[in-house]
Structure 1
């Protein structure tokens, strides 16, 4: 599997990864503005992507949205890139995920990586709550994936 970066230097990749992620997440049809992406290619096919968006440099916070059609996407290199970008490259102190209460798979992944959760009723509409997950740089660095 190969990691590919989008962004200003690779706008075609940036848009392709963002479109892929948006197509996999119900309610994300509008996409994002001012974003950078990370994609995972397997056998010449895009199988996973991360969109980094809503960057607030003054607070050191960025939101990320991700999706995959491959269960093997959360490899050590992917995780190092996914969290290395906000924490090491652009100096964030926290990342935020917004997840539907119905997305039990993503909820389990976020919990496994040490995210703290905050359930907000009706944030996805009248009949659906959204869970805001936060992960600080300190919690990420203490995670077992970062130990040798």
Structure 2
């Protein structure tokens, strides 16, 4: 698959997923009124949706909104620690390098809520945004060096 085809597919899928996530998040207040509503599982799913929405917003270059979505997800369910990967990345891309580095430093030697290494997820995320030219090579190298310390 060529790079341009990959970018085109990523852009198309990202936009569709983003639209779905936005719709789900907007339904939140109405769903909690249903009699069969399970708040615990709903909160976990809603938290995940906010985390996924933050990822989508990063690729839309809506970094402040990505930060807000990640923070909302973490406020709803603090057990969804994987969202910190999106919070760090969106802060980095928004120019809040110090905030991003504090998150990277705090979590780099831990595992996410879905049992993956934060360090490896951070590296993978950085590589992805570098490939679509959201992150310059110098900053990419700098962050990778700090993650490896």
Q: Larger radius of gyration, structure 1 or 2?
A: 2
Name the TM-score class by shorter chain: 0.3 to 0.5
More helix by share: 2
Higher share in strand? 1
